[in-house]
Chains A and B, each alone.
Chain A
Amino acid sequence: MLELAVKGNKWYWGWMVVLLGVIGAGFGLYLMQLKFGLGITGMSRDVSWGFYIANFTYLVGVAAGGVMVVLPFYLHDYKAYGKITILGEFLAIAAIVMCLLFILVDLGVPTRALNVLLYPTLNSVLFYDAIVLNGYLFLNLVIGWNVLEAERNGVHYQSWLKPLIYISIPWAVSIHTVTAYLYCGLPGRHFWLTAVLAPRFLASAFAAGPALLILLCLFIRRFTNFDPGRQQIQTLAKTVAYAICINVFFFLCEIFVAFYSQIPGHMDHIKYLFVGLHGHGVLVPWMWASMILMTVGIVLTVTPATRKNETSLAIACIVIIMGTWIDKGLGMISGGFVPNPMHEVNEYIPTLPEIGITLGVYAMGALVLTVLYKMAVGVKEEVHG
Chain B
Amino acid sequence: MNNSRRRFLQIAGVSALGLGAKPVLDAFAAGGGEGPGFHVARGEDALDAKQWAMVIDTRQLQSSADLEPIVEACHKVHNVPTTIVNKNHEIKWIWEAHYHNAFTDKTNPFLNESVEHRPFLLLCNHCENPPCVRACPTKATFKRERDGIVLMDFHRCIGCRFCMAACPFGARSFNFRDPRPFIQETNKQFPTRAKGVVEKCNFCAERLAVGKMPACVEASNGAIAFGDLYDEHSEVRELLKENYTIRRKQTLGTEPAVYYIV
Enumerate chain A interface residues (CB-CB to B < 8 A).
Answer: 36-39, 42-46, 48-49, 103, 106-110, 112-113, 115-116, 118-127, 130, 182-183, 186-189, 265, 336-337, 340-344, 346
State A123–B160 Cα separation when bound (angstroms): 16
CB-CB contacts of B158-175 with A at 8 A, as 1s and 0s?
A: 111110111111100111
Contacts of B169 in A (CB 8 A): 188, 341
Contacts of A103 in B (CB 8 A): 160
Point out which of B105, B160, B167, B169 has the most chain A C-beta atoms below 10 A from its C-beta: B160
Q: Which of A37, A115, A116, A187 contacts B178 (CB 8 A)?
A: A37
Docked-complex contact B174 and A342, CB < 8 angstroms: no
State A181–B10 Cα separation when bound (angstroms): 33
State A105–B217 Cα separation when bound (angstroms): 40
Enumerate chain B interface residues (CB-CB to A < 8 A).
Answer: 14, 16, 19-20, 22, 24, 27-28, 30-32, 36, 86-91, 97, 100-102, 104-105, 122, 131, 133-140, 156-162, 164-170, 173-178, 194-198, 249, 252-254
State A119–B166 Cα separation when bound (angstroms): 20
Docked-complex contact B137 and A130, CB < 8 angstroms: yes
Docked-complex contact B170 and A46, CB < 8 angstroms: yes
Docked-complex contact B138 and A44, CB < 8 angstroms: no
Write the nearest CB–CB distance from A130 to chain B, whole angstroms: 7
State A344–B170 Cα separation when bound (angstroms): 11
Say yes or no: A45-B14 contact (C-beta < 8 A), given A122-B27, A124-B134, A124-B135: no
Interface SS, A side:
loop
Interface SS, B side:
loop
Contacts of A38 in B (CB 8 A): 159, 174, 176, 195-196
Contacts of A43 in B (CB 8 A): 88, 176
Contacts of A342 in B (CB 8 A): 97, 101-102, 104, 122, 170
Q: Which of B27, B100, B168 contacts A123 (CB 8 A)?
A: B27
Docked-complex contact A109 and B196, CB < 8 angstroms: yes
Docked-complex contact B158 and A107, CB < 8 angstroms: yes
Contacts of B194 in A (CB 8 A): 109
State A123–B166 Cα separation when bound (angstroms): 13
Docked-complex contact A45 and B168, CB < 8 angstroms: no
Docked-complex contact B156 and A124, CB < 8 angstroms: no
Say yes or no: A189-B168 contact (C-beta < 8 A), given A45-B174, A121-B139: yes
Contacts of B28 in A (CB 8 A): 122-123
Contacts of B160 in A (CB 8 A): 103, 106-108, 126
Contacts of B22 in A (CB 8 A): 122
Nearest A-chain residue to B104, judged by Cβ: A343
Contacts of A123 in B (CB 8 A): 27-28, 30-32, 133-134
Write the nearest CB–CB distance from A157 to chain B, whole angstroms: 35
Say yes or no: A107-B104 contact (C-beta < 8 A), given A38-B176, A122-B27, A123-B31: no
State A187–B86 Cα separation when bound (angstroms): 28
Contacts of B252 in A (CB 8 A): 187-188
Contacts of B137 in A (CB 8 A): 115-116, 121, 124, 126-127, 130
Say yes or no: A108-B174 contact (C-beta < 8 A), given A49-B161, A124-B136, A188-B252: yes
Docked-complex contact B168 and A109, CB < 8 angstroms: no
Docked-complex contact B138 and A48, CB < 8 angstroms: no
Contacts A45-B87, A121-B32 known; 16 new A-B pairs at CB < 8 A: A38-B195, A43-B176, A44-B89, A45-B88, A45-B164, A48-B174, A106-B160, A107-B160, A108-B174, A109-B197, A110-B158, A120-B20, A124-B135, A124-B138, A188-B249, A188-B252
Say yes or no: A42-B88 contact (C-beta < 8 A), given A108-B160, A115-B156, A124-B137: yes
